[in-house]
């Protein structure tokens, strides 16, 4: 993991993070792992689901920050020297391939819009521009790896109760501390589920 990261457009296209690779969910959403999920790759994980079709699903674990300095895996970026910026682990698939989530005030040609002013990208040139700013890590997180499911696999996990689904939002992606995100979204998902269960008998009563 200490080796420099690759930015392979082909790999990202095949993984479904490029707009041309296939449809994203109609409404961007998070998958919030249930308590004590056995798979260590997804313990207390929040996954941004970027693609979900009958052929499978692709996402990005957004809250697993590693201890690896970004400067170590992006050694050519001078503004990262002596900074505390860390690499995030996006999932167990293609761990040497990087993507990044960033905020942009105007439509980003080199990224795919997720929600509001937040985009996901894979262009090394765009990342270089972002890291050349006076505050390079403001509104930016860099991830290594992806999360992937084969045909029917995510559906089975959802039916088993491994994940809660809630709408994605920009604040959770870039402003909420990663160590607090799972607990916050799990409470939000649980509250939504309780409200929905309460609403059913009231509707039936009418």
CATH of the domain at 118: 3.40.1740.10
Can you tell me the distance from the alpha carbon of 55 to that of 150, in angstroms, rounded to the nearest whole number? 7
Number of folded domains that form the chain: 1
pLDDT the model gives residue 52 = 86
pLDDT the model gives residue 7 = 54
Question: Looking at the domain assignment, is residue 18 inside a domain?
Answer: yes
Question: Looking at the domain assignment, is residue 1 inside a domain?
Answer: no
Question: Tokens 């992606």 label which residue?
Answer: 173
* Cβ atoms within 10 Å of 193's Cβ, excluding its own: 13
Can you tell me the distance from the alpha carbon of 185 to that of 182, in angstroms, rounded to the nearest whole number? 5
Mean pLDDT for all residues in the chain: 83
pLDDT digit string, tens, across residues 3-24: 666 654 433 443 455 443 344 4
Residues composing the chain: 206
For residues 106-118, average pLDDT: 86
pLDDT the model gives residue 109 = 78
Can you tell me the distance from the alpha carbon of 169 to that of 157, in angstroms, rounded to the nearest whole number? 23
Is the distance from CB of 15 to CB of 21 less than 8 angstroms? Answer: yes
Segments forming the whole domain that contains residue 171: 9-205
pLDDT the model gives residue 80 = 81
Is the distance from CB of 86 to CB of 68 less than 8 angstroms? Answer: yes
Chain CA centroid to CA 94, Å: 14
Can you tell me the distance from the alpha carbon of 58 to that of 185, in angstroms, rounded to the nearest whole number? 20
pLDDT the model gives residue 83 = 72
Question: Looking at the domain assignment, is residue 3 inside a domain?
Answer: no
pTM: 0.83
User: Is 70 exceeded by the pLDDT of residue 30?
Assistant: yes
Is the distance from CB of 17 to CB of 9 less than 8 angstroms? Answer: no
Return the top range by mean pLDDT from 22-26, 46-50, 51-55, 200-204: 46-50
- DSSP for 155-174 reads HHHHHHT-EEEEE--HHHHH
Question: Looking at the domain assignment, is residue 4 inside a domain?
Answer: no
pLDDT digit string, tens, across residues 190-201: 887 767 764 444
pLDDT digit string, tens, across residues 55-109: 889 999 999 999 999 998 888 888 887 678 999 999 998 888 889 999 998 887 7
């Amino acid at each position: 993991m200490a080796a420099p990261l690759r930015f392979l457009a082909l790999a990202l296209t095949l993984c479904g993070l490029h707009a041309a690779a296939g449809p994203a969910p109609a409404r961007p959403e998070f998958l919030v792992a249930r308590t004590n999920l056995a798979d260590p790759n997804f313990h207390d994980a929040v996954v941004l689901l970027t693609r979900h079709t009958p052929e499978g699903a692709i996402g990005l674990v957004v809250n697993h920050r590693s201890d690896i300095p970004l400067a170590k895996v992006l050694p050519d970026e001078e503004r990262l020297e002596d900074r505390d910026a860390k690499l995030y682990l996006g999932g167990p698939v293609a761990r040497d391939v990087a993507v990044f989530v960033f905020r942009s005030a105007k439509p980003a040609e080199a990224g795919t819009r997720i929600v509001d002013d937040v985009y996901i990208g894979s262009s090394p040139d765009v990342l270089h521009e972002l890291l050349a700013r006076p505050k390079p890590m403001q509104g930016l997180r860099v991830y290594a790896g992806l999360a992937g499911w084969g045909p029917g696999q995510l559906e089975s996990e959802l039916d088993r109760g491994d994940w809660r689904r809630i709408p994605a939002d920009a604040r959770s992606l870039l402003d909420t501390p990663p160590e607090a995100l799972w607990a916050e979204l799990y409470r939000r998902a649980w509250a939504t589920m309780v409200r929905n269960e309460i609403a059913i008998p009231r509707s039936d009563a009418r």
